[in-house]
A = this chain, B = another copy of it.
């Protein structure tokens, strides 16, 4: 029912996955995608993406700003961060979690896609799942409502397995 990618993801909440690998993979994917799309993954953009990938919890823009300022040793203004975020959002490299005003890395960028997440209200772990799972029902909903749906934005809030214990 869940894709392979998602089964792998189930480990992401736990401490026992190779998260360094997780980050570097994401950066490599980003570089490839930018090459393909003839877009420039500049230093700022890459740094922001790296910071977002530091955890599997969504991060706020101002938190990114502060961390960036610290690591650069100089003040960073909001537009710097928001421009990078807009770029990454446009390319589908990250998602915005509306209920948290926060941003998180995309697990499988490259195909512009919907934003479907399970979010733990205790630890903020955000687990992306494939919209495929709901495809038929959304299809039916389109038929019956007459709406032409172009973007799914699904945030399912609850408690992750770790936090249930």
Chain A, interface size category, equals 35 or more
Please determine whether A158 and B148 come into contact, CB atoms closer than 8 angstroms.
yes
Within 8 A of B (CB), among A105-149: 118, 120-121, 127, 129, 133-134, 137-138, 140-149
CB distance from A117 to the nearest CB of B (A): 10
In the complex the two chains form, what is the Cα distance from A109 to B164 in whole Å? 29
B2 lies within 8 A of A145 (CB): yes
Q: Out of B98, B133, B153, B160, name the residue touching A156 (CB < 8 Å).
A: B153
CA distance A156 to B102 in the complex (A): 19
Q: Is A77 engaged at the interface, CB distance under 8 Å to the other chain?
A: no
CA A155 to CA B117, docked complex, whole Å: 12
A53 to chain B, nearest CB (A): 21
Instruction: For the complex formed, measure the closest distance between the CB of A11 and the CB atoms of chain B, giving whole angstroms.
Output: 11
A69 located at the interface, meaning its Cβ lies under 8 Å from any Cβ of chain B in the complex: no
Report the nearest B residue to A150, measured CB to CB.
B158
The docked-state distance in angstroms from the alpha carbon of A150 to that of B99 is: 14
A158 near B164 with CB under 8 A, answer: no
The answer to whether A147 and B133 touch across the interface, beta carbons within 8 angstroms, is: no
**Choice from B1, B127, B142, B153 contacting A157 with Cβ under 8 Å:** B153
Pick the contact of A127: B140, B147, B153 (CB < 8 A).
B147
Instruction: List 18 interface pairs A-B (beta carbons < 8 Å), by A numbering.
Output: A2-B144, A118-B145, A118-B147, A121-B150, A133-B141, A141-B156, A142-B158, A145-B161, A146-B160, A146-B161, A147-B159, A149-B157, A150-B157, A151-B156, A151-B157, A151-B158, A152-B157, A154-B155
